[in-house]
Copies of this chain bind each other. A is one copy, B any other.
Amino acid sequence: MDSLTLQLQHYRQRSYQHIVQKMANLALDAFIVTELPIIRWLTGFSGSSARLLITREKVWLFTDFRYQEQVRHEVTLAETVIVAEGFIAELLSGNYPCGTTIALQAEHITWQEANRLRDKVFHAQQVMPIEGFFNEFRIIKQAVELDYMQRAAALSEAALEAVLPMISPNVTELDIAAELSYQQKKRGASGDSFSPIVASGARAAMPHATPTNAHFVQGELILLDFGCMYEGYASDQTRTVALGKPSKQASTIYNIVRKAQQLGLERAQCGMKARKLDEVVRRFITKHGYGEQFGHALGHGIGLEVHEEPRISSRSETILQEMMLFTIEPGIYLPNCCGVRIEDTVVMGTQGAMPLQQFSKELIVL
């Protein structure tokens, strides 16, 4: 067993202890976890179908026969149960003492499943909707998690390096999006952390544009926002490049976003409220006359999922702390013209924010 695996096992064991402590504080006897990233985080299981039952004494993982082999290689901490007739039927066997207060993840369970657990397995009084229970454990990363996230970021950067020279008027946004996914996977990623955004010209004014079969055009800015998954952890990065000399207006907004992003990197510090960081950057962009064209939050936490706590928005009261990881990604979007976004993922340290990405943020003209 390598040291990383060992660290992970200790981390999982410790997390379980913290969870049990919190359950005791909230007088919860059992917790049914329906959120796959949390199941992976706590047990290592990477399959697409599972339920986790956490009690103060024991953890059970329920999955189906398709994963019979896989659980043997992956799962620690939990005892695995292969269910034939479904989770509800399995719970009805009476083999899993749950006590009198059972928490369900209100934001990660369907109304259907909550109703069935309440009506068929437990009583209405026993079942409690709980929200955000695991956020406090996820929001501060461990060294081993940072390690995975650095590797994920490095895979994405290597993919970007390989793909940029392929951009020309002979290829389309979809071609380059396919290349980014492919190059990340060829380097060891298990997949995209989200569907890559490759948007050229006026389409880059849609912050979440879907790549089209449009060819790139000389003089346009091209926005590339993409990331991958590595060992269950996400990367996220955006660069905007130009194909040939861009217009004056495009250069102008590029430079503002470039400076705004740098400002975000420099001003982030432990002890600061997230909304303060959003405010600093937003004020800079507003001062240059583009406040209205920066219509989204400055950033978002990242880890097991590409969007998680903390939100870096104008309303986020979260205090930035050491080993939080989040994105800093200001943008300016001019409808029917162009769009620029520049994004790094940073880890908070005592000396400030450190970007996981090293790729140049000077305007690259292809």
Contacting pair A210 B70 (CB below 8 A): yes
Q: Could you tell me the distance in whole angstroms from the C-beta of A155 to the nearest C-beta in chain B?
A: 12
Q: Is A335 an interface residue (CB 8 A)?
A: yes
Q: How far is the CA of A335 from the CA of B72 in the complex (A)?
A: 13
Q: Which of B129, B186, B188, B295 contacts A112 (CB 8 A)?
A: B129
Q: Is A40 an interface residue (CB 8 A)?
A: no
Q: Could you tell me the distance in whole angstroms from the C-beta of A198 to the nearest C-beta in chain B?
A: 11
Q: How far is the CA of A107 from the CA of B48 in the complex (A)?
A: 17
Interface string of A43-85 (1 = CB under 8 A from B): 0001110000000000000000111111000000000000000
- Can you name the residue of chain B whose Cβ is closest to the Cβ of A68? B206
Q: How far is the CA of A209 from the CA of B65 in the complex (A)?
A: 12
- Can you name the residue of chain B whose Cβ is closest to the Cβ of A129? B111
Contacting residues, chain B, for A205 (C-beta < 8 A): 69
- Can you name the residue of chain B whose Cβ is closest to the Cβ of A206? B69
Q: Which of B48, B65, B174, B208 contacts A66 (CB 8 A)?
A: B208
Contacting pair B191 A185 (CB below 8 A): no
Q: Is A7 an interface residue (CB 8 A)?
A: no
Q: Which of A176-184, A260-268, A352-360 contacts B (4 or more CB under 8 A)?
A: A176-184
Query: A208-B47, A208-B48, A296-B66 given as contacts; is B107 within 8 A of A110 (CB)?
Result: yes
Q: Is A301 an interface residue (CB 8 A)?
A: no
Tell me which of A178, A179, A186, A190 has the highest count of chain B C-beta atoms within 10 A of its own C-beta. Answer: A178
Tell me which of A108, A111, A129, A178 has the highest count of chain B C-beta atoms within 10 A of its own C-beta. Answer: A111
Contacting residues, chain B, for A227 (C-beta < 8 A): none
Give the copy number.
2
Query: A110-B110, A111-B129, A210-B70 given as contacts; is B185 within 8 A of A178 (CB)?
Result: yes
Query: A69-B206, A110-B106 given as contacts; is B181 within 8 A of A186 (CB)?
Result: no
Q: Could you tell me the distance in whole angstroms from the C-beta of A229 to the nearest C-beta in chain B?
A: 10
Contacting residues, chain B, for A206 (C-beta < 8 A): 66-70
Q: How far is the CA of A174 from the CA of B177 in the complex (A)?
A: 19
Q: How far is the CA of A129 from the CA of B119 in the complex (A)?
A: 14
Q: How far is the CA of A110 from the CA of B131 in the complex (A)?
A: 11
Q: Is A214 an interface residue (CB 8 A)?
A: no
Contacting residues, chain B, for A65 (C-beta < 8 A): 207, 295-296
Contacting residues, chain B, for A70 (C-beta < 8 A): 206, 208-210
Q: Is A27 an interface residue (CB 8 A)?
A: no
Q: Which of B47, B106, B186 contacts A175 (CB 8 A)?
A: B186
Contacting residues, chain B, for A115 (C-beta < 8 A): 106, 129
Contacting residues, chain B, for A131 (C-beta < 8 A): 112
Q: How far is the CA of A107 from the CA of B109 in the complex (A)?
A: 9
- Can you name the residue of chain B whose Cβ is closest to the Cβ of A175? B186
Query: A111-B114, A111-B129, A129-B115 given as contacts; is B182 within 8 A of A178 (CB)?
Result: yes
Q: Could you tell me the distance in whole angstroms from the C-beta of A158 to the nearest C-beta in chain B?
A: 14
Query: A66-B296, A131-B112 given as contacts; is B178 within 8 A of A186 (CB)?
Result: yes
Q: Which of B112, B177, B185 contacts A106 (CB 8 A)?
A: B112
Contacting residues, chain B, for A174 (C-beta < 8 A): 185, 188
Q: Could you tell me the distance in whole angstroms from the C-beta of A335 to the nearest C-beta in chain B?
A: 7
Q: Could you tell me the distance in whole angstroms from the C-beta of A117 to the nearest C-beta in chain B?
A: 10
Q: Is A23 an interface residue (CB 8 A)?
A: no
Instruction: For the A-B complex with A115-B129, A174-B188 known, give 15 more contacts whose Cβ atoms are closer than 8 Å.
Output: A69-B209, A70-B208, A70-B210, A106-B111, A106-B115, A107-B110, A107-B111, A109-B111, A110-B110, A111-B114, A112-B129, A112-B131, A175-B186, A178-B186, A182-B182
